[in-house]
Structure 1
């Protein structure tokens, strides 16, 4: 199989209730493995503001068809939610469960989730390739801006696993498992950090609302 799906780490009751209240809930599955004008297919993107390298190889095309919010805080939260995804992919490509990139953009359960995903890919001997598309972003401020909920869809139909030892690409056809719905609870920068950090991530598998 080309898609490697893990069960999502159980969230704390508080975080789970928060996400459900904001439109989450449903079956949760792990993943395998900007705005319209800044849709980002570039495989070599890096972050600004002194952040870590989150680049990926040219054969992995990460596309973010996100609409940038007019609110500056919401726009920053969305940008670093994208960086969290990029950092997770970077860690998989580097085959490093302790990669500093995802740790820079996450904490708590979201960091544990990223680490578990990377570990699974390392154990399987796979790396991602193809086109991985993220779209239909919705950003909601919570608790007077103290937290921000970022939700978006993912279509992984053209994203595949590649065996590291042989270079063989494991292709699959598009199906219900190709569509996922993400919700990331983002925390604003604290202390010397300049990044919004994902604290909780929920991934809903076979998301009908994302099938387009």
Structure 2
């Protein structure tokens, strides 16, 4: 089975909410893969501070080719948007749909979305391997200055599913389906400590704008 057929769930609730929150929207597809920990391989990466462990195995390389915003609030929102992706991948490799990592970095629809993705991998008997690259990040503060919309591209051409029982890697060829566009609506911590949380996750498949 090809890696791009692994995720079986499609979320359909995000477009209207994003339209209301930030004037944008679009078709919502399922996240098709696993996330890695940083711009280089790391089997023990954590978020720092009191955040949960979001490490992944060395054969799963999560690359975030982002430019850090000069604004501290926007930089924090982008960092925890990365951590949301890392946490989702951590749940996949741990095979735990109730993994506390993604719950720490998300709530609402975004948490439901992460859980559905993990459940699909668990049901299929797959874990993740290869390189999963995220790039071209854009951080946009919403009206009122509290919520932040983080969007970025994904190239999963070298990201593959792997059968847990056999260890067989499900290789696929690069195509337009390798490219996705993410939009995460991030909410700030409720107090002086804690993480920014993704409350809405929208993923548009076959994103031509990300194919370059």
What is the TM-score of this pair, normalised by structure 2? 0.92
Establish whether residue 105 from structure 1 lines up as the match of residue 115 from structure 2.
no
* Offset of residue 12 of structure 1: 5.8
Does residue 10 (structure 1) correspond to residue 19 (structure 2)? The answer is no
Where do 4+ consecutive residues of structure 1 move more than 4 Å? none
Q: Name the CA distance, whole Å, in 2 between partners of 1:171 and 1:54.
A: 25
Distance change >3 Å, CA 12–CA 58, structure 1 → 2? closer
Q: Distance in 2 between the 1:144 and 1:41 partners? A: 36
- Structure 2: give runs of 5+ residues left out of the alignment: none
User: Which residue matches 1:161?
Assistant: 161
- C-alpha RMSD over aligned residues: 1.6
Distance in 1 between residues matched to 2:20 and 2:154, nearest whole Å: 22
Counterparts of residues 116-195 of structure 1 (less than 5 Å):
116-191=116-191, 193-195=193-195
Q: Label 1:42 to 1:159 Cα distance change in 2 as closer, same or farther (>3 A).
A: same
In structure 2, the residue matched to 1:43 is 42
Contact 1:137 1:152 in 2 (8 A): yes
Q: What are the equivalent positions in structure 2 for 1:46-65 lying under 5 Å apart?
A: 46-65=46-65
Q: Within 5 Å, give how 1:19-98 maps onto structure 2.
A: 21-22=23-24, 24-25=25-26, 27-33=27-33, 40-44=39-43, 45-98=45-98
Q: What is the deviation of 1:32?
A: 1.9
Contact 1:5/1:29, CA 8 A, preserved across alignment? no
Number of aligned positions between the proteins = 205
Aligned mates of 1:147, 1:63 — CA distance in 2: 25
